[in-house]
Amino acid sequence: MIGSIRRHSTVLWWIIVVAVIVTFVAFFSPNQGSFRNGGGRGGGGEMGTLYGRPIKPEEAREAYRQAKLVEEMSGGRRQVQGGEERMAYENLLIDEKLRQMAIVPGDEQVAEYVKEHLRDSSTGQLMYDQQVALVKARGYAEADYVLLLRRAIGQRHLMDLVSIPGQLVTPREAEAEFRRENEQAMASAVFFSSSNFLAGVQITAPALGQFFTNRIANYRTPEKMVAAYVKFGTNSFLAKAEQDVAKVPDLVQRLEAAYNQRTADAFRDSQGNPLAKDAALAQLRDEFVRSTAVSYAAEQANAFYNDLGQIEPLRPENLETLAAKKGLKVEITQPFSGFERPLGLESLRNLSQQLAQLDANSPFTEPLSAADGVYIVSVKQHIPTVTPTLDAVRVRVTEDFRRSQALDAAGSAGQAFHNVATNAVAAGKTFAALVADQKLTAVDLPPFSLSMTSVPGLPPQADLNSLKDAAFALQPGQVSNFIRGRDGGYVLYLRERRPASDEMVKAELPKYMTELRQREEGRGFSEWFTHEFAASGLKEHFEPRQKAAGVTTPR
């Protein structure tokens, strides 16, 4: 049992709880055996080994359930290839290291974490009950959420143990980095927009034909699919949910607590008008009823899914066969591509990602929860891509050709201006005089720094990241290369750099130093994790499968 867990910011804890460490090694291929089913119906798993011992199917299933919960609680922000199954392997490795190091966060530490970090930032009210309600609405139990918290606490302690370099950041190093990140650039830009060159584009039949031939892949009809699904609708369980909610002995107190956890203006009607407290409590009660109904739908969906798993051999058609046997309706979608949400399944997040993971071992999705019900989906038909003729897409190709030629013309004009500007500034001519001579317009940009993630008033043609890269590679009085953008590009002139004020450094350095140390700890933990992933045997087992599936492993 660990005696104590160090305290860290709520933001860092939330990152740990819902996202683990996103810079971990990528080691999953969604085209391989189903991790969520424990590696296959035979129970052998073939999921690899951890430090020489086979991964048990039940371990794999539980790790996947936890990863699925994290994904749903994060709002689907980890939208990476094989995200849930990759996270499941991360969970397995973390759990193994916690066992090896005898790190077992107890109930007292979970309670301390809840008190310190699961509070509404505006009211200070605990959000634990609200989080548990969300978990249950997705078909999980409170124990699943507590297990998630225990792993987060244990992982935080692992970070403390293996990320010593983060503690070695000196105040002088932190101040130097803070000053560098908060130095402001004062710059001007001359923009070259492709729209200004559209009128001059000449279109000929040979040029248009060559353009179409070179880009024919852009005009192919994408591969599509037709899905079959069974929906366990929330409305079917509302009456039962209403009866059960009415029997909750402390319902009024729960609703009051939930109301107090939010600000008063968080409750609004369909027109966006704030609700009075009584109406807000009624809204909360309705949410409680609907979330309860979703949990009942999830129970039936899970039972149906388990029955599907008993039918041999595994085939997509089993969904329709079992549904007919149970008197359930099967809906068939219109053809859709991987970038579309088909009619009837609009409420499902990341559906394409879920369907991409289906294979012969897992021909249907796990139950997928949404506000209107729980779905189980299979792919009924794959429709191959179609290559059109030029005449069939001539209007679209012509418009694309015009935009492409205008973009090239804008780039040529921008590059020519850069050449003139470089020579003129080197000869002592002012940038303002040069712009006037060229009959162009220079735009004075708002001040910006490396630490800024948004700049109010920045023209939309200037991408902030490329702007920062260009500006801080210059010395005052220098001109950048032509910087290409989506609508053309621009040439940047750096007028001056303004250092961060001493007052700013004094006020913000302590917080920055804490954040810098945490970043260093995270980097050290990621490096340690990468090493342990290789040492555990997982990398040796899964990297060949990953390469076969065309997934690139970050280094």
- Which is it for the CA torsion 482, 486, 487, 492, positive or negative? negative
Helix, coil or strand: residue 189: strand
Looking at residue 31, its pLDDT comes to: 32
Tokens for 92, please give them.
């397995």
Residues 6+ apart with CB under 8 A from 416: none
Contact at 8 Å (CB) between 65 and 338? Answer: no
The Cα 37–Cα 361 span in angstroms is 9
Find tokens 């192919």 and name the residue.
220
Domain ranges in the chain are 10-168+509-548, 184-220+390-498, 224-383
What pLDDT, on the 0 to 100 scale, is given for residue 46?
A: 55
Please answer whether residues 553 and 25 qualify as being in contact, where contact means their C-beta atoms are separated by less than 8 angstroms.
Answer: yes
Mean pLDDT check: name the lowest of 19-23, 325-329, 490-494.
Answer: 19-23
Tell me what pLDDT residue 542 has: 58
Per-residue pLDDT tens digits for 427-451:
999 999 999 999 999 999 999 999 9
Query: For the whole model, what pTM was predicted?
Result: 0.59
pLDDT for 157 beyond 50: yes
Kindly give, in sequence order, each residue whose CB lies less than 8 Å from that of residue 294, ignoring residues fewer than 6 positions away: 137, 138, 139, 234, 237, 369, 371, 373, 374
Parallel/antiparallel/unpaired status of strands 49-50 and 443-444: unpaired
* 492 phi and psi angles, rounded to 5 deg: -105, 140
C-alpha span between 71 and 349 (Å, rounded): 11
295-329 residue pLDDT tens: 899 999 999 999 998 999 999 999 999 999 999 99
Could you tell me if 177 and 408 are in contact, meaning their C-beta atoms sit under 8 angstroms apart?
Answer: no
Paired tokens of 328: 């359930």
pLDDT band at 273 (very low <50, low <70, confident <90, very high): confident
**Burial degree of 329 (CB within 10 A; 0-12, 13-18, 19+):** exposed
